[in-house]
Structure 1
Amino acid sequence: MNGFTDLQLTVGRRRTVALDVVELELRRVDGGNLPEWQPGAHLDVVAGAGIVRQYSLCGDPGDRTNYRIAVLRQPDGRGGSMWLHERLHTGDRVTVSSPRNHFPLEPGPRYLFLAGGIGITPLLPMIRRVARGGADWSLHYGGRTRASMAYTEELRAVDASRVVLIPFDEFGLIDLDSVLSGVAPDTFVYCCGPEPLIAAAEAECARRGMRLRTERFSPKEIGSSTVDSPFTIRIASTGMELTVPAGRSIVDTLTEAGVDVLTSCEEGTCGTCETAVLDGRPDHRDSVLTEEEQAAGDRILPCVSRSLTPRLVLDL
């Protein structure tokens, strides 16, 4: 996985947690403790030859004997989910990365969680954490049908009175206008799910001036105001300068020059390649950094983003 700290784990248990959703419990072969993680973290999983996919950790961060991920079967996807569903069984070994977190749970007095489908997975450990801490919280969880919605019993066990299930075939889409209209201004809103839900939540929260954190499984539509043109990148550690052509990414240019940079999704959603910027102004085209982080201009996702200035100096 291009330089990750790889872990060789074994499947300790498989179980179906919803229609077309299988949970995989991954353990160290020697039974030892796994690296620590916090709610919102995900793993990169090698799902077949040359395929790496990201899956949110949905278990208990306090239990370091295993990692739990839930995988939605996607027959029309790129093959990773089908490999995990059909080829990976109890006792099999799989390569994963150490946990990484670009969707951290921030401390606050109250939370609103919005989930769509398999987007419940990173929110489940967050909900457990804030419930134990005594914060005010609620969850609005949509899915195609009740049968397709994972972890509903686990969520009810935390506090059924705070969980609103919204199967589409019974109630339609989550009514974001109604849900957000009664939310206190200091509420942290966390949203994960399909792009239409996230885009709608972004629009509604922006209109209300509310804090929103999101995690995407696919890249959002990026409307860049600039036309792609060549620019220069400088490697701070060596002084090497490279030209990034209009039709090539920064990552491609670095790789061709023999400069090692960690990558995984190569579509601006996983955050693996995040790199510090020492000089210059990035043209952000990723789906990971918040608006505030993008405005700061001190980091870039070089797999998709470019430059608004003739040169970028990267901390590589």
Structure 2
Amino acid sequence: MTLLDLQITRKRLVAQGIVSLELRDPQRRPLPAFTAGAHIDVHIGPQLTRQYSLCNAPGDTDRYLLGVLLEPHSRGGSAAMHQRFAEGDTITVGAPRNNFPLAPARRSLLFAGGIGITPMLSMAEALWHTHDDFELIYCARSAAHAAFLDRLATAPYAPLTRVHLDDGPAAQRLQMDRLAQEDPATTHLYVCGPKGFIDYVCQAARAQGWPEPHIHVEHFTPVAPAGGDALTVRIASTGQSIEIPPDQSITTALERHGVSIPVSCEQGICGTCVTRVISGEIEHRDGGYFTEAERARGDQMTPCCSRGRGTLVLDL
């Protein structure tokens, strides 16, 4: 894996609980290129890596720009980004990767909820640059919680941007019946944000006949980190069977029985924990690491957040 030691050249508050961080090479060398929707792994400390979307224009080669929400129940990642790292500090990151790319389409709809605006900013920049037809729909609790409003207001694609605030007039709130005006056969829909927001947008799209391949989703947190049916994991190399409690991830439960699987993001995004499944029914809960075709094969999973039914035999 390519690792880069970058300097935080600018850090500022862009909304309540959200900071932006600008990262540059200390020697001002060009950075590895990235595509719209990409993220980088930020190595915050030993065994602590988090993924953050790049929100600057894909054509930028001199910097990476991140937006980070301070999670109320932070497991160390967002708290460190907000409180420990300051301008001038050096931080280690991985080269950009993209699990949420743009697909060729006649038209694109970008739905962002809260901090989900970050990958959409990069997408909007890319689509504007290529003169593609698109619209950016940004929803937030209030103007105080909406990040990068100043950037959106002055962007060349400002006329293509719609901002909806929960505390605003009812007429200005998001109404999904607007999808009836779109052509699902030629339009692709992208959505990122809190789970409730993602579910709301996706359910509305499906109800109006949107084909599944035209709905693209990125989760910033696991869909359901715990809970589910009774589950037993069998270790193929030893035959050991381990019961997985509903309130524990597979990796946590196995670790307590002496079986260690490397983990990083714990959200099914980075792929560090990907494990081959020899047999059993997988309940995929990864944050978009696998494609639908890969999920359908049923031969690998992200045990940091995914589960299963009955007994899973893992190639460990």
Considering the TM-score relative to the shorter chain, is it more than 0.5?
Answer: yes
The equivalent position to 1:160 in structure 2, one of 133, 158, 177, is: 158
CA distance in 1, matches of 2:86, 2:260: 37
Deviations 1:47-78 (A, max 9, x none): 45654322111112222221110122335433
1:208 partnered with 2:211:
no
Matches within 5 A, 1:1-316: 4-47=1-44, 51-156=48-153, 157-171=155-169, 174-185=173-184, 186-210=186-210, 211-221=214-224, 226-233=229-236, 240=237, 243=240, 245-247=242-244, 249=250, 253=254, 261=262, 263-268=263-268, 270-273=269-272, 275=274, 277=276, 280=279, 283-286=282-285, 287-288=287-288, 289-306=290-307
Q: Which moved more, 1:54-63 or 1:149-158?
A: 149-158
Q: Do the aligned residues in 2 keep the contact of 1:229 with 1:246 (CA within 8 Å)?
A: yes
The answer for unaligned runs of 5 or more in structure 1 is 234-239
CA shift in 2, pair 1:276/1:130, >3 Å: farther
The answer for unaligned runs of 5 or more in structure 2 is none
CA shift in 2, pair 1:127/1:259, >3 Å: same
Deviations 1:227-247 (A, max 9, x none): 3023344xxxxxx56646222
Q: Do the aligned residues in 2 keep the contact of 1:43 with 1:100 (CA within 8 Å)?
A: yes
Report the alpha carbon displacement of residue 136 of structure 1 after superposing the two structures with TM: 1.5
CA shift in 2, pair 1:46/1:244, >3 Å: farther
Q: Do the aligned residues in 1 keep the contact of 2:234 with 2:314 (CA within 8 Å)?
A: no
Q: Do the aligned residues in 2 keep the contact of 1:271 with 1:301 (CA within 8 Å)?
A: no
- Which amino acid in the other structure matches residue 302 of structure 2? L
| TM-score with structure 1 setting the length | 0.81
CA shift in 2, pair 1:260/1:147, >3 Å: closer
Q: Which moved more, 1:288-297 or 1:163-172?
A: 288-297
Q: Do the aligned residues in 1 keep the contact of 2:51 with 2:270 (CA within 8 Å)?
A: no
Q: Do the aligned residues in 2 keep the contact of 1:48 with 1:83 (CA within 8 Å)?
A: no
Report the alpha carbon displacement of residue 7 of structure 1 after superposing the two structures with TM: 2.3
Measured on the aligned residues, the alpha-carbon RMSD in Å equals 3.2
Q: Which moved more, 1:111-120 or 1:50-59?
A: 50-59
Secondary structure at the residue paired with 1:246?
A: strand
CA distance in 1, matches of 2:84, 2:190: 33
CA distance in 2, matches of 1:54, 1:176: 31
CA shift in 2, pair 1:229/1:75, >3 Å: closer
